[in-house]
Structure 1
Amino acid sequence: MRGLEVVVVVLAAVLTMTWLARRLRWNEPVMLVAGGCLIGLIPDFRGPALPPEVVLLLFLPPLLYWESLTTSLREIRTNVRGIVLLATGLVLATAAAVASVGHALGLSWPLAFVLGAVVAPTDAIAVATVARGLPRRIRTILRAESLINDGTALTLYAVVIGVAVKGLSVTWTDTAVRFLLAYAGGAAIGCGCAAVVVALRRRLRDRSVENALGVLTPFATYLPAQVLGVSGVLAVVTCGLILSQAGPKVISAGSRVQIISFWEVSTSLLNSALFVLVGVQTPAIVSGIGSVSPGHAVITASLVSGVVIATRLLWLYSVPYLIRVIDRRPVQRTLRYGARQRFPVAWSGVRGAVSLAAALAVPTATATGQPLAGHGLLVFTAVTVILVTLVLQGTTMPAVIRWSGLHGDPDETAEERRAHRQIIAAALEALPDHARRLKTPPETADAILSELRQYAAEKAGPPDTEDTGVRAGLELRRALIGVERSALIRLRDQRSIDDIVLRRLQSLLDTEEIRIELALRAFTGRPP
């Protein structure tokens, strides 16, 4: 059973397991993997169901793109040092620790480092799932780490796989140069693609073409980077972060509402399908360990899982404190967390589908045609690490968050209220000029003025433009929405508010603008 049958069964499992997890209030990724395991026990599904290239070319770009579009660039700038240390230093430290254990348990050094590179990166989607309820700053750090560390791990993976499979010799200088080229090349391609997309967005007026461009963007960014041998992950993330800043200025309200709805649905399905497919692969991987005894495989996988978790804990409770001794600047002191509040970050190192895809992509034979010794053990260990982190860390994260005493970010609500008042104030200031330009009747302008004042005082919802009953009133309100949107973007660019706050208020303005557009079309007799 393949093709369309696989798609239908996986989607049915996604819907069933998601509904069941929410009904029972259980961890969704764990339920999805469990459902996939049940499917994998069916004889017709015991073959390969998750080709590595499917994850790396079909699943990974849109998921990374959407995550980068919806993260907070301001928080990334504020915490860039900690993010870089987690996304590079911790990945390399984890790979080295895992390689040491793997070699001690019988793997060759090259294959042990392949295993380390496979299980080193956290999973962006799984982390976003388990980090719900944490303050905005910590959520952003975890999301940014998981977006960038894939690039670090996959670059290291490409280096060590050449040693393990092709017998290539690698020096420290070669490795360092390859890392620099992967990062710089990926970022450059991401910037270039973002510039092209922004230029096209400024010229496009057809909503369907705009949305098609939005769907194409992550794939058109990822593929050239991969072809050129640089980091496709960094290219997509860079492009997404740039477009998160430029998008509010160049995308129309109607297109933005449609493309956001599309990405929310499609990424949710892709994310859930990945966890199901991880489960589908698990029974076949367990039965394909190879010549290694089951006991040795379980011991190896258990020890590697423990090393992965312990390395992150050790890193989070050592490196930041060493940096504190060196960097005594007052601004850095305001960013510090206590040991108890730091634990959720240390405990959130959940692995996912990228690790599985990388493990499955390891060739079963060397360049000389000889079987790659330890291949089955490597894949089994990678799957075990994914399952252990999902079940152990994923299911206990809510309790860890409660124990840490961390809650949602009160500053986010304050920023939203402040931005709300300021954009309405900008509209009130611009109203007389726009009313004169559009020749709006005084009684209509006064009605909108009164409603805006009530809206600014949070005593009313958005002004009901249909109550004005005249085209001039609708046009005036539409013009004022443009003023409010410009004021909102200006607050974001001044770093007075966060991208998350901008997107929330922008959504309200977009909804109101679309309602006005429909009312104007009805007024002029044109079909919507």
Structure 2
Amino acid sequence: MEAKFQTFLILLGVLAGTALVARRTEIAPAILLLLVGIVLAFVPGMPSLELPPELVLLVVLPPLIYSASVAMSWREFKANLRPIILLSVGCVIFTAFMVAAATHYLIGLPWDIGFLLGAIVAPPDVVAPLAIARKLGMPRRILVVLEGEGLANDATALILYRFALAAITTGLFSLPKATGTFLVIVAGEIAFGMAVGWLSLRARRRARDPQVEITLSLITPYLAYWIPEHFGGSGVIATVACGLYMSWNGPLLISAATRLQGIFFWDLIIYLIEGLLFLLTGFQMRSLFERSKSFPLHDILTATVLVAVIVIVARFLWVFPGTYLPRWISRGMREKDPLPSWRAVFVVAFTGVRGAVSLAAALALPLTLPSGDAFPYRDLILFVAFGVIFVTLVGLGLGLPAVVRWLGLAQDGRNEHIAEHEQEIAARREALNAALKSLDDITDDRELSDEVVKLLRSRHEIRFNQLPDALDPDRHDASATGTALTRELIASERKFIHTLLRDGKITDETRRRIERDLDLEEASLSNREYRRIPL
């Protein structure tokens, strides 16, 4: 137990160190963690760390999906539902069939094995590309489409995976029956996920305690995921529906204290889960290397390169026709949603990075068939899944910044960012005006002293005056200078409070309360800070 805990501490240290290196090199942490995991796996004396598939599919996946769903805007998800479905359902199925056909005709795999392999490597992982895309300031709609695809594509792939696995183990498969089952699973999980979200919000509202509410928020994704998964569904769709329901209905029902503490809690949880997941994925290279000795190296490389090329090409073959053909055919769709730039379509097609879910699905394959025979091609599927993850994550992930710069999408993102910040300034101003109007109404209805009214009005006027008129450079410089000076003044307050504590003039409890106010004020400065946007 002590050795395992020491290994865990080493992994945490590696995770923190890699994050610092990633920040300086501007490489996505997921890419570095995968590479570091591969290197550490072969360090003498380092214990072999297996990645249990149940850990990924039952323990890790629910909070990742739920957190991303809560962060997703339901309005933006709904507005982009057509491209999200085309990618998360259509592209996954198309890719699985392409892999099955290519591996059957070019390297002789049976159709059912090829389709199983296709279902495993079909769903892209969005952690690394989204981190890169956000850092590069890409247009908002691209981010929404990629994030929405990442929420739902695992569900499609896992359902296909179960159909293919059942066909191999039982020898029975019916396309009409499978299609009907798929639709029933989708409809049932959406309803169940929304019900779990409704129940969670009511329970958290009654709790009225941040610690209890955060605990309930941690239970919620597992409740939404495990029950459908237990009855033969994917669990992913229910978790996505639950998260989107919480995102839309939660803001007015969750207290400020719970929200502030919950943001920190979930940010830390997701940071640790994602980091350790990619690190442990790299560690699997050691066991795969040992198994590869029983396979001809040429066969492994041929299958890996073939499948990697197919999954990349298949995405391009699907994304471009899926984007333009409906608009060329339907005039109404063309008027409602004009043709997007080929540059935006290209970058969506380029971000076909595979992740740990593909490896977990491959690791979850049974060792034997019900007949007692060894599961056919199991080790080859493992090698190919890991190889596709490595090729797409490292190759496409490292190439994405260059592609974005070549396409000039960063400038589009900056222009969009400027417009978004101007809308934010206007929204803040209108909200303050609405609050002042409410103050006038309250003053008319209640007997309030002039001193109280003056104090409340002064608070809102101070906040109103802190808003910049626009995002022009001169105003930005003045705002930045004022923010920097405010931070210096807060630091002076902290030092003085610490001096009072050392001199015994205040208690530790008093110091903590004052520090909390200063922390909130400093956090508010960071939240209101408007960065200069290069033009």
2:112 maps to which residue?
110
Change (3 A) 1:102 1:401: same
Give, in angstroms, the shift of residue 339 of structure 1: 1.2
Partners of 1:331 and 1:107 in 2: CA distance: 42
The one-letter code matched in structure 2 to 1:384 is G
2:426 maps to which residue?
418
Is 1:396 aligned with 2:399? yes
The one-letter code matched in structure 1 to 2:77 is I
Picking from 275, 282, 285, the partner of 1:282 is 285
The one-letter code matched in structure 2 to 1:243 is M
Give, in angstroms, the shift of residue 30 of structure 1: 1.4
Question: Which range moves more in the overlay, 354-363 or 443-452?
Answer: 443-452
Give, in angstroms, the shift of residue 330 of structure 1: 6.4
Q: Deviations over 1:209-254 (max 9, x none)?
A: 1111111111121111111212211111110000011111111000
Is 1:263 aligned with 2:266? yes
Partners of 2:256 and 2:334 in 1: CA distance: 38
Write out aligned runs for 1:251-400 (5 A).
251-289=254-292, 291-329=294-332, 332=335, 334-400=337-403
Q: Deviations over 1:449-497 (max 9, x none)?
A: 24424533526999x9xxxxxxxxxxxxxxxxxxxxxxxxxxxxxxxxx
SS at match of 1:131: helix
The one-letter code matched in structure 2 to 1:98 is V
Change (3 A) 1:330 1:309: closer
Partners of 1:323 and 1:330 in 2: CA distance: 7
Q: Deviations over 1:68-127 (max 9, x none)?
A: 111122111111111101111100000000111222313221111110000000113233
Q: Deviations over 1:473-527 (max 9, x none)?
A: xxxxxxxxxxxxxxxxxxxxxxxxxxxxxxxxxxx9x957x99xxxxxxxxxxxx
Give, in angstroms, the shift of residue 307 of structure 1: 0.6
Picking from 128, 131, 139, the partner of 1:129 is 131
Picking from 451, 455, 479, the partner of 2:463 is 455
Write out aligned runs for 1:203-282 (5 A).
203-282=206-285
Give, in angstroms, the shift of residue 400 of structure 1: 1.4
Partners of 1:223 and 1:43 in 2: CA distance: 39
Partners of 1:197 and 1:362 in 2: CA distance: 34
Is 1:427 aligned with 2:435? yes
* TM-score normalized with structure 2 length: 0.82
Q: Deviations over 1:352-409 (max 9, x none)?
A: 0101100111112211111123111111111111111111111111111122222323
The one-letter code matched in structure 2 to 1:448 is L
SS at match of 1:400: helix
SS at match of 1:337: coil
1:138 maps to which residue?
142
Is 1:151 aligned with 2:152? no
8 Å CA contact 1:128–1:143 kept in 2: the answer is: yes
Question: Which range moves more in the overlay, 448-457 or 227-236?
Answer: 448-457
Is 1:442 aligned with 2:450? yes
The one-letter code matched in structure 1 to 2:93 is L
Which 5+ residue runs of structure 2 have no aligned equivalent?
Answer: 469-478, 487-516, 525-535
Partners of 2:366 and 2:48 in 1: CA distance: 17
8 Å CA contact 2:62–2:221 kept in 1: the answer is: yes
1:405 maps to which residue?
408
Change (3 A) 1:179 1:3: farther
8 Å CA contact 1:127–1:146 kept in 2: the answer is: no
Partners of 2:372 and 2:40 in 1: CA distance: 33
8 Å CA contact 2:225–2:238 kept in 1: the answer is: yes
Question: Which range moves more in the overlay, 74-83 or 126-135?
Answer: 126-135
Which 5+ residue runs of structure 1 have no aligned equivalent?
Answer: 465-507, 516-528
1:474 maps to which residue?
none
Question: Which range moves more in the overlay, 282-291 or 66-75?
Answer: 282-291
SS at match of 2:340: coil
8 Å CA contact 1:290–1:377 kept in 2: the answer is: no
SS at match of 1:366: coil
The one-letter code matched in structure 2 to 1:117 is A
Partners of 1:232 and 1:334 in 2: CA distance: 32
8 Å CA contact 1:130–1:348 kept in 2: the answer is: no
2:85 maps to which residue?
84
* TM-score normalized with structure 1 length: 0.83
Number of equivalenced pairs: 468
Partners of 1:303 and 1:399 in 2: CA distance: 25
SS at match of 1:107: coil
Q: Deviations over 1:435-456 (max 9, x none)?
A: 4667543134224324424533
Question: Which range moves more in the overlay, 63-72 or 42-51?
Answer: 42-51
8 Å CA contact 1:45–1:280 kept in 2: the answer is: no
Give, in angstroms, the shift of residue 128 of structure 1: 2.2
Partners of 1:228 and 1:289 in 2: CA distance: 36
1:36 maps to which residue?
37
8 Å CA contact 2:204–2:212 kept in 1: the answer is: no
Partners of 2:282 and 2:405 in 1: CA distance: 29
8 Å CA contact 2:28–2:128 kept in 1: the answer is: no
Picking from 196, 200, 223, the partner of 1:197 is 200
1:70 maps to which residue?
71
SS at match of 2:331: coil
